[in-house]
Chain A
Amino acid sequence: MVKSAYSFATKKEKIEKHIFIVWVDNEAGVLARVVGLFSGRGYNIDSLAVAEVDRSNNISRITISTSGTPKVLQQIKLQLGKLVPVHKVADFPQNKKTLMREMALLKVVSSRSHLEKAKKLCKKHKYAIIDRTGKSYVFEVSASKNEIDNLIKKLQPLGLASASRTGVVAMTKGSEIYKQY
């Protein structure tokens, strides 16, 4: 029996999926700060993508896909905003208003006929074959996270040998942009 636990979580709240875009100074340790904030406060990271987007201003853009209660999501945004190298945080709901893409490299090693089947499956998406041998293809596919999940499931019986994914990157639709930093 838990006797002196100070308090227990009570209400169950609904979980939402969000994407946070974080513009940061591209400096040593910045990713550790962002990721450490998530692990330290018990927030989820479903996927994470990061690269420099503005060389002259030394700015990287981090895309974090996460889920949590509305209260937690608000905290994530505000806590990220407090980190010194963070310039701005944008919060995109994962819905129709947000463009979301993920890229995957998928290596299938198999018989000719399986390779052709695999190609057919990949063709349903924006794809390219970027390397081929008699017994292997490497596909480059960009699609939504779900589509890639499904594709991978279907490729497995066809000899999927290796999969590498970028994690989701996102942008708003239309001409609207965020003033970034």
Chain B
Amino acid sequence: MSNLMTGAAMVFRTLEDQGVRHIFGYPGGAVLPIYDELKNHKKIKHILVRHEQGAGHAAEGYARSSGKPGVLLVTSGPGATNTVTALTDAYMDSVPIVCLTGQVPTHLIGTDAFQECDTTGITRPCTKHNWLVKDIKELSLILHKAFDVAMTGRPGPVLVDIPKDIQFQKGRYVRPKKIINKSTKNNIEINGKDNDIKAVATLIKKSFKPILYTGGGVINSGLAATRLLRELVSLTGFPITSTLQGLGAFPGNNPQFLGMLGMHGTYEANNAMHDCDLMINIGARFDDRITGKIDDFSPRSKKVHIDIDPSSINKNVAVDLAVIGDVKIVLGKLVSLLKQNGSDFANSNRQKITAWWNEIENWRKKNSLSFVNSGKIIKPQFAVQRLYELTKAQDTFITTEVGQHQMWAAQHYKFDKPNRWMTSGGLGTMGFGLPAAIGVQVANPEKLVIDIAGEASVLMTMQEMSTAVQYELPIKIFILNNRYMGMVRQWQELLHEKNYSESYIAALPDFVKLAEAYGCVGIRANKPEELDRKIEQMLSINGPVIFDCVVDKAENCYPMILSGKPHNQMLLGKKEDKVSNKGKILV
């Protein structure tokens, strides 16, 4: 077969060679040649979204739940600008997606042509890299390179902008044998230097109050990394906590797991972070929602940071020892080093940290995730707990929107596998969860996929229900409907004298009727006693469902670290926890 083909055909040939099976997209003038070519490529299924932001989040959900890159295809101008939120979201949360945009023909670039915009200019700060293809000779190489950049090192979004004339032109398709990327070219060690790893092992042996603090980097590193993490935890007997993005890397109901840390993390996790003498950060980034007040962050600990991205080191928190490397490789070396140290290591180590575990157990007794349940009204935490109990027997994938419901989901839904939890952490994008669930369902057709949503967030991308119906994607949208932008209301209650400025949505749609309008099933639960039955009903439906779970309007999400506070001063949501004036200023 000749390798001479049109640019449009080249796009598909690259996708096929990259093993891409699904693309999310929306057509328009500047990508028509590519859409025309689609019919010749039966191996690739196109999912027509209802808004390009949805295509971006769907690609993210696809990538995060499958470990493969997500691909989206959109037109120039408004098609491209509509993807910016999703690209930024993927950039912040290190999600590998490849965005293909059409562009006006090369001779019109710079003339303010119809639907022209400076796509590479606009997306430069929210992609790992982007390309404007000006020559058909470069197209296939750039496309392959785009996949390589998205997937190597710290993953992230990339964009290739393809002018319409290039899509028509014929050129030779080349598939590079080996892509020369930064790490291959500069011979950057991403394996972790042996001496550094030895030093970590020494610190581990010396420590009396250790903690492992793990993040999304463990999940990005792949299944081997999560396996090794479990081995490390059982070998050392150390307590482990996780960031929002890292949930699932370690089983949520294992006794060594202290729960999530940070602003809405558990009492035991945050206190252990504050009081430890050794903190080993694995694939997390000392985000401000984690550290709270930086000056008082874990004041007495030696800090180790294992990360694939050198620029993550010392960015927010100065560490004592940095190991640059891929988590699976570093942990592999570390675990085998610890194993070499004789079989009694595990035992002696466990004894050394008994006092520390006793302290942790005392913090645990606070039961910081507890809440006062009600017989009259559904408490949102209770709803998540019931959802968890009724779905934990299945391999369930959870996405979320952003707000209180997101934090309650993180606190009360326990994950025991990686790639099952997809939430917008870095950017905090309301409207992420529904389209992300679509992407997750496309990647995992037989699995249960639930978006734990807020009623405000879900309206931002609600139109994607139509996509779910079209492709018979049986996603479940479980709305914790508190009629408020709850997280905003909570901050206003605690920090702005209950001035609930514009955080109440007075004219919400009837979600059950809305579901019906989209051609799917709507279910509403008002009372605690009907919750289980209705959840069972939802689970029994083999199609998309919008579940309107009417919950307490006024519930707040605790525990909470008011920022400006160190980790060992948390609000637990009990009566005595009045916020001082000083605390208000600093949050």
A residues with a Cβ closer than 8 A to B are: 1-8, 10-11, 28-29, 32-33, 36, 40, 71, 74-75, 78-79, 81-84, 87-88
Contacts and interface: CB of A to CB of B under 8 A. Distances in A.
7 contacts: A3-B584, A6-B288, A8-B586, A29-B121, A32-B124, A33-B124, A75-B315
B543 interface: no
Interface stretch (B212-220, B306-314, B369-377, B391-399): B306-314
B27 to A, nearest CB: 27
Main secondary structure of the interface of B (DSSP, over half): helix
A28 to B, nearest CB: 7
A8 B182 contact: no
B174 interface: no
Given A3-B496, A8-B586, 4 more contacts: A4-B587, A5-B586, A84-B149, A87-B185
Nearest to A88: B186
A40 B125 contact: yes
Given A1-B585, A8-B564, A82 B121 contact: no
B311 A75 contact: yes
B124 A6 contact: no
Contacts of B584: 3
B76 interface: no
B35 interface: no
B294 interface: yes
Nearest to A70: B314
B417 interface: no
B491 interface: yes
A7 B496 contact: no
Q: In this complex, which of B134, B182, B491, B584 has the most chain A Cβ atoms within 10 angstroms of its Cβ?
A: B182
B78 to A, nearest CB: 22
B120 interface: yes
Contacts of B495: 3-4
B587 A3 contact: yes
B128 A84 contact: yes
Contacts of B294: 7, 10
B125 A36 contact: yes
Contacts of B128: 84
Contacts of B194: none
B129 interface: yes
A82 B583 CA distance: 38
B293 interface: yes
A7 B311 contact: no
Interface in B142-188: 149, 182, 185-186
